[in-house]
């Protein structure tokens, strides 16, 4: 099956084995001319299966079994991420929320609570807050940084087909009290590199490194120690103004 989808202002023509990915991307469908093509095969699906099994083994958990259609969704986004590098755009693991049209990206180690923190923002700001992408946004990094919603927005499907200027990246850690402080690009860079998608191809990786360097100096960087009280949203927002 083949369809065209406009994601992060570029149109991908996706040809897949299963139709599941086209259902996932339905809100992004377009008739515009394709900027690039993504084609997946059974070999891509098997690659995702083996990669997932290796990660489970390293984590010491039972190997999870996923349907081929889900694994193909992962394969498609992996290929999109590589293609988008040519447009100065990277895939980043984090939760982007916009308040009054300005984006803030929260990133953390898995299980720290970035999605929970984003929920606190939605509760605190009400209609002023809009989820852009709760899991894997695309970031266009030029003189300014733009965060895009994509179909790949986490298990709770929290996101929108919108683009917002990104003001800040905030690294979350848990704490008994809420506090926020700016961090330097040098201090934040190792964590940023953990959270950006890192392709296997050396040339693509070189471009990723350059874009991550640029990201670190184009937005403000913070570290937030937070608990799960709604006051964490206020402390974080005020600290990033």
φ, ψ of residue 58 in degrees (nearest 5): -65, -35
In the chain, the domains with their CATH numbers are 2-87 (no CATH), 90-239 (3.90.228.20)
Query: pLDDT tens-digit profile of 9-40?
Result: 999 999 999 999 999 999 999 999 999 999 99
pLDDT of residue 13: 98
pLDDT of residue 37: 98
Query: pLDDT tens-digit profile of 143-156?
Result: 999 999 999 998 88
pLDDT of residue 113: 75
d(C-alpha 95, C-alpha 168), whole Å: 12
Max intra-chain CA distance, the chain: 52
Structure tokens at 56: 């489970």
pLDDT, average across residues 74-94: 97
pLDDT of residue 154: 86
Cα–Cα distance list, 178 to 104, 113, 123, 162, 233 (Å): 17, 14, 17, 30, 9
pLDDT of residue 106: 95
Q: What is the pTM of this model?
A: 0.95
Angle between helices 202-218 and 185-195 (to 10 degrees): 140
Identify the bridge partners of residue 162 per DSSP, sorted by sequence position. Answer: none
pLDDT, average across residues 185-199: 95
Q: What's CA 48's distance to the chain center, in Å? A: 18
% of the chain residues with pLDDT over 90:
91
């Amino acid at each position: 099956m083949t369809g065209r989808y406009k994601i992060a202002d570029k149109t991908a023509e996706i040809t897949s084995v299963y139709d599941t990915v086209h259902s996932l991307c339905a809100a992004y469908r377009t008739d515009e001319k394709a900027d690039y093509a993504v084609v997946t095969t059974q070999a891509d699906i098997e690659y995702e299966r083996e990669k997932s099994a290796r990660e489970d083994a390293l984590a010491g958990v039972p190997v999870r079994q996923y349907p081929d259609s889900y694994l193909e969704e992962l394969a498609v986004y992996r290929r999109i991420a590589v293609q988008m590098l040519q447009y100065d755009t990277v895939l980043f693991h984090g939760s982007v929320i916009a308040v009054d049209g300005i984006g803030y990206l929260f990133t953390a180690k898995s299980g720290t609570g970035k999605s929970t923190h984003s929920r606190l923002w939605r509760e605190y700001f009400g209609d002023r807050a809009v989820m852009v992408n709760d899991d894997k946004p695309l970031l266009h990094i030029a003189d300014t940084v733009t965060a895009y919603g994509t179909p790949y927005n986490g298990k709770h499907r929290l996101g929108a087909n919108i683009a917002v200027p990104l003001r800040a990246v905030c690294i979350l850690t848990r704490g008994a009290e809420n506090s926020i402080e700016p961090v330097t690009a040098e201090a934040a860079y190792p964590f940023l590199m953990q959270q950006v998608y890192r392709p296997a191809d050396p040339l693509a990786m070189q471009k990723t490194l350059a874009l991550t360097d640029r990201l670190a100096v184009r937005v403000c960087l913070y570290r937030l120690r937070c608990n799960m009280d709604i006051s964490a949203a206020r402390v974080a927002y005020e600290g990033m103004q």
